[in-house]
Structure 1
Amino acid sequence: MERQINKVELRNLEIEDYIELKKSMVQSYEDEDIEDLYWKKDEIKRLLKIFPEGQIVIVVDDVVVGAALSLIVDETLALSNHKYNDIITDSKFKSHNDDGDVLYGIDVFINPEYRGLRLGRRLYDARKELCETLNLKSIIFAGRIPNYHNYSAELTPKQYLEKVKNTEIHDSVISFQINNDFHIKRLLRNYLEGDHSSKDYAVLLEWNNIAYEKTPTLINVKKSVVRLGLIQWQMRSLNNLDEFFDQAEFFIDAVSGYESDFACFPELFIAPLMADYNHMSESEAIREISKFTEPIRKKFQEFAISYNINIITGSMPFLDDEDEMLYNVGFLCKRDGSSEMYRKIHITPNERMYWGMQGGDVIQTFDTDCGKIGIIICYDVEFPELSRLMGDQGMEILFVPYLTDTQNGYTRVRNCAQARAIENECYVAITGCVGNLPKVNNMDIQFGQAAVFTPSDFAFPTNGVKAEATPNTEMTLIVDVDLNLLKELHEHGSVRIKKDRRTDLYNLRAK
């Protein structure tokens, strides 16, 4: 029967709603064989007294057509092998605890005459919003499986739930919950007395609040919005190391002045220092400037402290004293005064042929005051295994300092970086050198365009590009990235790439 609807309102329950609430509840459960199908008025009064904000109703043209009723309880109780009466305690609601950490749903219903309008989804969304507002860990409740009695002769409850999850069987209760991002925790036996259609079973379901913070902290709070400062470095002649430090400090000062959390330099941006050694072979010249690597690390560590910024030093040659091998390395200089080294793992044919560089053998992520980050150098981004392993470790931002001479090389880096952002559900920031170095062998020209890439979903730019610099021009690119959007994507994205990987068929691990 078609019904003319003029107004739909979502609000908190009031005691004046009781008569309409009772009518809708009786109609919702009239086909069930359970006694006491509606809440008594004194029970509703009690609920409204102890937790008024947890009682939500849908009102259509001033008629209450549905409700979601809740308590706050301790997680230990909610996840235990409990019964319904352990929660409502003979409708005294003694399990309610204002200091609890879980929103427990004790009832939800929609009048049958108003079903098909997605009003139930509105109630669930309101519960989720309440859970987030109150900073509770999760929403938990036990869902009946009233359709199970039709299959109980041939399927165990576990088998039945597997078929429901695989959409081989439609269960009006459980299917709806799964579609609303609830996941099954366990089966409960004898949860609701007299629930014969469910064969005395119920399914404990949970929705996790990804924004939950265990203990509010007033200082040193991990940021949700992180500001990235990418330096698109112009190759130019430099007379000495002090000139190099002056130029680097200028950019660090600039991006820190805009309160950036990170400053990222390109790969081998110290190459101008090789000009004094151009009379040597390429391999000899780069080994000479590797002597500057440790002084550069120390100086950038000082910059990180004095400018209160985390600095990713791009990369520079490093001659390892232990194996006497040459590596392409960089440093994460944190604003707390510490520093960590990272090494380029995949070496290009050019680096190997002209400089004799070797690849590193450590795949790692770094903990910072702005979350967990990964750093890989140029050619490394063209190998998806590295960032996938970092993604499995919880990486949220991937930095890729690069050095490319042609637009072809840049295109490889750029397109692969965009793919890494999508497949790992993270942000990827790239920056490189621009210009030319006519007095340095094997470093003639550079093509570069700094950019920040995002996953591809509704919360992000449609083309997956958060921001990009002007190509081949010295400049900084300052970009804000919201880490909370990544959390939302992981749980509620149009597709959930990290969750949907078929690890039952394939897996990836570092040796």
Structure 2
Amino acid sequence: MYRSEQLLFDSGKPVRVIVRNYTKEDFDELIDIQTECFPPPFPSDLWWNREQLMSHVTLFPQGALCVEIDGRVVSSLTGVCTYFDPAHPNHTWEEATDSGYIKNHDANGNTLYIVDISVRPSFRSLGLGKIMMQAMYHVVVELKLERLLGGGRMPGYHKQAENIPAEEYVNKVVLGELYDPVITFLLKCGRLPIAVVENYLEDEESLNYGVLMEWKNPFKIS
């Protein structure tokens, strides 16, 4: 099981954080985080429910991480093991994650797939998303998987869709010509885009597109 304590700094003031696996005692806070992070027009039926969370901590507890500050859970990151073939990247979020229930967890898979990442808005200045992502990289290395992979939302794309296709939008974000809050964040975490997928997730801001972004295990060189 995973547990790491460290100090972050908010305007020069140290903040002690604990990165650990979440458990069923955290479920109420985890659901509350979802409501803060994904307000309308994001569909409320895509917020976590207790059955999904129980699957996370039962089937793949190593992939269920959260950050605790002053006894309060303020962010979470959830993953599942799956088999991914880079030659056939197209899929939906529902297919990859079993609609968030992760009952398709494959202990013999080659990829740790990110199901969800959520940080309470009032804590986002601390860089907790990057801290959790780095912790999940540790899990990838420990389990000797080939990669960490996930489909990122493209919430800025609806503002550019009349001018450029989705692939060009992603390329411009990578080049720094455009900013996208999700894609740019994942780039800063060390992940790189490998494919743009249509109808990845019901998401008005992304026009239902998702961009698959991976981090390759540096100790598994093919």
Q: What TM-score, normalized to structure 1?
A: 0.40
Indicate conservation of the 8 Å contact 2:157/2:206, yes or no.
yes
Superposition CA RMSD, Å = 2.0
Deviations 1:155-197 (A, max 9, x none): 111221121111111111101111222111111000112x111
Question: In the alignment, what sits opposite 1:208?
Answer: 216
Name the larger-Rg structure: 1
Q: What secondary structure sits across from 2:163 in the alignment?
A: coil
Structure 1's 42 and 162: CA in aligned 2 closer, same or farther, altered over 3 A? same
The structural deviation recorded for 1:93 is 1.9
Alignment of structure 1 residues 17-166 onto 2, 5 Å = 17-76=26-85, 80-166=89-175
- Given residue 34 of structure 1, which amino acid in structure 2 is its aligned partner? P
SS of equivalent residue, structure 2 residue 181: coil
User: Once the two structures are superposed, what CA deviation does each residue of 1:111-169 show, in whole Å capped at 9, x if it has no partner?
Assistant: 00101111111001001111001100000100010110011111111221121111111
Instruction: Kindly provide the amino acid, as one letter, of the partner of residue 210 in structure 1.
Output: P
**Aligned match of 2:206 in 175, 182, 198?**
198
* 3-state SS of paired residue (2:85): helix
Offset at residue 5 of structure 1 (A)? 7.4
**1:278-297 equivalent positions in 2, closer than 5 A:** none
Any unmatched runs of 5+ in structure 2?
1-10
SS at match of 1:80: coil
Q: Unaligned 5+ residue runs, structure 1?
A: 215-511
Q: Is the contact between residue 25 and residue 37 of structure 1 (CA under 8 Å) also seen in structure 2?
A: no
- Read off the aligned partner of 1:198 and give its amino acid letter: S
Contact 2:41/2:204, CA 8 A, preserved across alignment: no
Provide the residue aligned with 1:7 in structure 2: 16
Q: What's the offset of the Cα at 1:213? A: 6.8
Write the mapping of 1:32-431 to structure 2, written as runs, cut at 5 A. Answer: 32-76=41-85, 80-193=89-202, 195-212=203-220
State the partner residue of 2:25: 16
- Identify which of structures 1 and 2 has the higher relative contact order when contacts are C-alpha pairs closer than 8 Å and 6+ apart: 2
Structure 1 segments, 4+ long, off by >3 Å, are 4-7
Contact 1:78 1:104 in 2 (8 A): no
C-alpha displacement of 1:47: 1.3
Identity of aligned residues (%): 27
The code of the aligned residue for 2:210 comes to: A
Contact 1:145 1:203 in 2 (8 A): yes
Q: Which secondary structure does the structure 2 equivalent of 1:107 belong to?
A: strand
The answer to whether the 8 A contact 2:89-2:195 is kept is no
- Equivalent pair of 2:55/2:101 in contact (CA under 8 Å): yes
Q: Matched residues in 1 for 2:131 and 2:185: separation?
A: 13
Q: Residue 227 of structure 1 corresponds to which residue in structure 2?
A: none
Residues in 1 aligned to 2:44 and 2:69: alpha-carbon distance in whole angstroms: 28
Contact persistence 1:51–1:71 (CA under 8 A): yes
Which residue of 2 is the match for residue 220 of structure 1? Answer: none
Size of the alignment, in residue pairs? 211
